[in-house]
Structure 1
Amino acid sequence: MKKATILLGILLTFVACSSDDNNNSNNETSADLVRDIAVNGTWRVSYFFDTDEDETSNFTGYVFTFEEDGTLRAEKGSNSVVGSWAVLDDSSNSSSDDDGNSSDDDDFIITFPVPESNDFEDLNDDWDIITVSANKIELTDVSGGNGGTDFLTFVKI
């Protein structure tokens, strides 16, 4: 009987913990979690593949800061490019799933108000999120015009 009581206690503890783990007490969405990660620190582009070539070197030395108010800053020495960013929970719009197989339809939107000839214009898009961790944000986009696939990866500095 003593063993049964101990096992029942362990089982009840496990079940109680499991149900708490599945319910986010502050009801944060996946978009909220991505925002929380992005604003926590500074980032650099570790990989940028634009349709048919690696263009990572265009952003070497730039430090990116995702600010809580939606401002996105890219700074390299005295050079500064200021734009905006947002993460939208777009699960209601399945057509935004640019990567074709993502179960997460959140869009990571980057906008720099620069001329088309500027390298930062290539970052302007509604990127699909591949993976997000505390130290890395991996994004992808399938271009509607030419069907090419772009990849953008930020790593925390």
Structure 2
Amino acid sequence: MKTMKMKIASMFVIIMYIVTVAACSKDDNNNDSQQNATVQQTITTAQTGSWKVTYFFDTDHEETNHFTGYAFTFNENGSLVAVNGSTTITGTWSVTDSNSSDDDGGSSGIDFNIFFASPPDFEDLSDDWDIISVSSSKIELTDVSGGNGGTDFLTFERI
């Protein structure tokens, strides 16, 4: 009887080991690779051509009109330039994954980071936006504000 209990205990240990090893899937590394590829695809897409803001909803107000006439260029060096006639506003941008030090820790996935120090309308764009979708002609972003809990939406479309 003692031998039977030892065999059962051994089988239990072996089964638990197999279950534990199976839980450590190879997909974890593939997800990192896929995430890095998506980060790079988003960067490449943003750097291609100029963009305009076609929708900006700030918590409880649509404010798209604050950016009418501006052409946004996402430069390879991390600078973000908005030009409207003789007016040029410069900021910075980046795309980071959720493991990055730039992430606010409140979301998973990829962040589209924008920073403008001024003017106030452009400061409203400064955030670590979550990506809703990216295509060759449109970048849709969202953010849940930490202070008031409101949801913001920002859409760029290629000019």
TM class by shorter chain equals 0.7 to 0.9
Q: In structure 2, what is the Cα distance between the partners aligned to 1:107 and 1:31?
A: 9
Q: Relative to 1, partners in 2 of residues 1:107 and 1:28: Cα closer, same or farther, differing over 3 Å? A: closer
Is 2:70 aligned against 1:62? yes
Residue 95 of structure 1 and its aligned partner are, at CA, apart by: 3.2
Check if 1:106 corresponds to 2:110.
yes
Aligned length: 125
Q: Which residue matches 2:124?
A: 122
* SS class of match (1:95): coil
Runs of at least 4 residues off by over 2 Å:
91-96
CA RMSD of aligned residues (A): 2.1
Q: Which residue of 2 aligns with 1:11?
A: none
Q: Which residue of 2 aligns with 1:48?
A: 56
Q: 1:112 to 1:40 in 2, by over 3 A?
A: same
User: Over alpha carbons, which structure has the higher Rg?
Assistant: 2
Which residue of structure 2 aligns with residue 34 of structure 1?
Answer: 42
Q: TM-score, normalised by structure 2?
A: 0.73
Q: Secondary structure at the match of 1:155?
A: strand
- Determine the structure 2 residue equivalent to 1:18: none
| C-alpha deviation, 1:94, in angstroms | 9.0
Residue in structure 2 matched with residue 96 of structure 1 by the alignment? 106
Higher normalized helix content (fraction of residues): 2
Q: Percent identity?
A: 56
